[in-house]
A and B are shown apart, each in its own frame.
Chain A
């Protein structure tokens, strides 16, 4: 597509429920990144996919967080047993393999855990 698409744009969930956030990157971008932006904070790296290589999961804050990328395109970030501290904006970005063109971000999913 023309840009990075994320859905849903907003999600309110009850504490303890599981949520899935979706990211559809730019066609042809083999690199995909997930970041978390908490209120008043910068961007916290979560996970990175590059082509068919094993993902870099070094930024995932706990084992409640997981992500997959099917067919080298769409990615899903799953948060199990959500906690109030998971409330944040989750941003997805994609880039060419060498990132020389920069990173294109989606509009994000605002997650609120009540």
Chain B
């Protein structure tokens, strides 16, 4: 079975400061990893993914994430937060092969960026 843990329900950061939203995963094989963002009353929007290759992945809106296989983590980062980054963030994992590719999502982390 695969699982995702987002240990923080909420992250607070001041505008202009760096932000990190944590994600750890468990999967029996090589993972595909994803980050999605959800604004109020909207569906999930794709931010970035790790499939293979470089461990540092760059995505939309200046976000990036680092795949760390030894720590089974895929933390989302941004060097300088914007108030408009305030939203709900979801990490997801699926099995790269030998499975059905059904993604498992974390419970989500609410990011609040203060002016």
Contact = CB atoms under 8 A, between A and B. Distances in A.
Interface residues of A, number: 27
Contact of A91 (B41, B43, B104, B107): B43
Interface string B7-19: 0000000000000
Interface in B23-58: 32, 34, 36, 41-46, 49, 51
A108 B102 CA distance: 18
A107 B42 contact: yes
Contact of B104 (A45, A102, A107): A45
Given A99-B94, A100-B32, A102-B49, A45 B102 contact: yes
The 3 closest A-B pairs by CB, nearest first: A42-B107, A99-B101, A105-B43
A9 to B, nearest CB: 9
24 contacts: A6-B43, A31-B101, A33-B103, A42-B90, A42-B107, A43-B44, A43-B105, A48-B100, A50-B100, A98-B101, A99-B32, A99-B101, A100-B32, A100-B51, A102-B49, A103-B34, A103-B44, A103-B92, A103-B103, A104-B46, A105-B43, A105-B44, A106-B43, A107-B42
